[in-house]
Amino acid sequence: MRFQSTGNRIQVGDSGRSKMTLMRSYDYKMLYLFILGLAASLVAMYVAVSYYDFSSIKVLPFLAAPLFIIGIVNYIIHKRWIPILCIIAIAAAIYFLWEKSYVLFFLYLFVCTEGVAVMTEVIQRIVFFKILTIIEFVNLKAKLSISDRIVTFMFNIPCDLDTRNLNVDLSVKRDGIPWSNMFHTIFMALMFCTFLWMYMVFNPSFTSGESGMSIYTFTIVLYVSLLVLPWNIFKSLNVRVQTGYRDFNVYSGLFETIKRMFLPILAVFIFLALSLSSGTFSIMYVALSIVMIAVIVVFTSVLYYTGSEADVVADVKEKWADFHPTTMYAGYRERGQASYEEDVPGTPRRELRLCLRKN
């Protein structure tokens, strides 16, 4: 970044840092494969609804296809033949010896979650440096762009915070699964699912007793997990703005924003549920979706933290010196001034307000 002073304003210019990326060739291939799979799924859903009289709810499992494909491809590319053979054998046993519909649940849990974990890493690699670039200089700009406003709102960044002294912890060591991070993610997913629950209250198909609804809910929960999991990288690396006092934690800012949005939405949902008397059916699926969220997030998090996080952190560490080459001034500290005066006897003393006065 470069700065140009024009009077009392500072204009922030781009010297190429905003183009810095963590994406690898493999990540681009997974991204393109997912986009193609999603486009094909949307076309198939449109055809099924328009020409074969399927309801919009019954075609939701089509949306799981891109994540299923990503999961299978990732298993094959990394030559994880034993898990593949186990999945095929168990799925066949469930199909022939148990309930056939349970095969989908099994594949969702052990294949689609792999796809969610892969796409979580891809999203992290796309957005990490882009978001940090916006945060670091957002409060120095005379005029905010749309992306600046979105990031400022999402991460609850105060307008009077000097965000230039941005830092991360690059020495992330995992002795086990970070359960606290997973609980935060589960809670964030529950917040987003209040929209799903409100839809369930209004949609007659949920209150009419249509069978098989849980598999459709499972599809939505996969995408809710994909929506909330990528932000864990900001918590894992403890991305923060250092000041002379208490640091501003970027992930905590995001979490506070979601909580502020969640509380009024939850109140509206409770009011609607009580006023419409949707009965035990909708309540059952609320409880079921909570269980699904917990299971999906736990499975995906275990796959991510044991397989992908180390690579993301290593790539961030490798490029961090280019992105943030020096630690910037973190604010005036009175203790530092006192120690300076004591170390150099006879130093003339001057009031702090005169030292910092603008000419």
pLDDT tens digits, one per residue of 220-236: 888 888 888 899 889 88
> Cα–Cα–Cα angle for 198, 199, 201, nearest 5°?
65
Looking at residue 173, its pLDDT comes to: 72
pLDDT digit of tens for each residue in the chain (359 aa)? 444 444 444 444 455 566 678 888 999 999 999 999 999 999 999 999 888 888 777 788 889 999 999 999 999 998 888 988 988 898 888 888 887 777 888 888 888 989 999 999 999 999 999 999 888 888 888 788 898 899 999 999 988 888 888 888 887 777 667 777 777 777 777 777 766 666 665 665 554 444 445 677 778 888 888 888 899 889 888 899 888 778 889 988 888 888 777 766 666 666 656 555 555 555 666 677 677 777 887 888 888 888 778 888 888 888 887 777 665 544 544 444 444 445 555 555 555 454 554 54
Q: Is residue 309 part of a domain?
A: yes
Q: Is residue 345 part of a domain?
A: no
Q: Is residue 35 part of a domain?
A: yes
Where in the sequence is the domain holding 187, given as residue range(s)? 2-333
Q: Is the pTM of this model over 0.85?
A: no
Among the residues of the chain, which ranges form H helices?
A: 25-51, 65-77, 81-97, 102-107, 113-137, 146-154, 179-202, 204-207, 213-228, 232-236, 250-276, 279-307, 309-323, 334-343, 352-355
Neighbours of 325 (CB within 10 A): 7
Q: Is residue 107 part of a domain?
A: yes
The whole-angstrom separation of Cα 72 and Cα 110 is 10
pLDDT tens digits, one per residue of 282-303: 566 667 767 777 788 788 888 8
**Domain count across the chain:** 1
Contact indicator for 135, 122 with CB cutoff of 8 Å: no
Closest residue by Cα to residue 350 from 359, 358, 341, 342: 341
Q: Is residue 356 part of a domain?
A: no
Q: Is residue 347 part of a domain?
A: no
Cβ partners under 8 Å of residue 346, min gap 6:
none
Contact indicator for 241, 247 with CB cutoff of 8 Å: yes
The whole-angstrom separation of Cα 111 and Cα 96 is 20
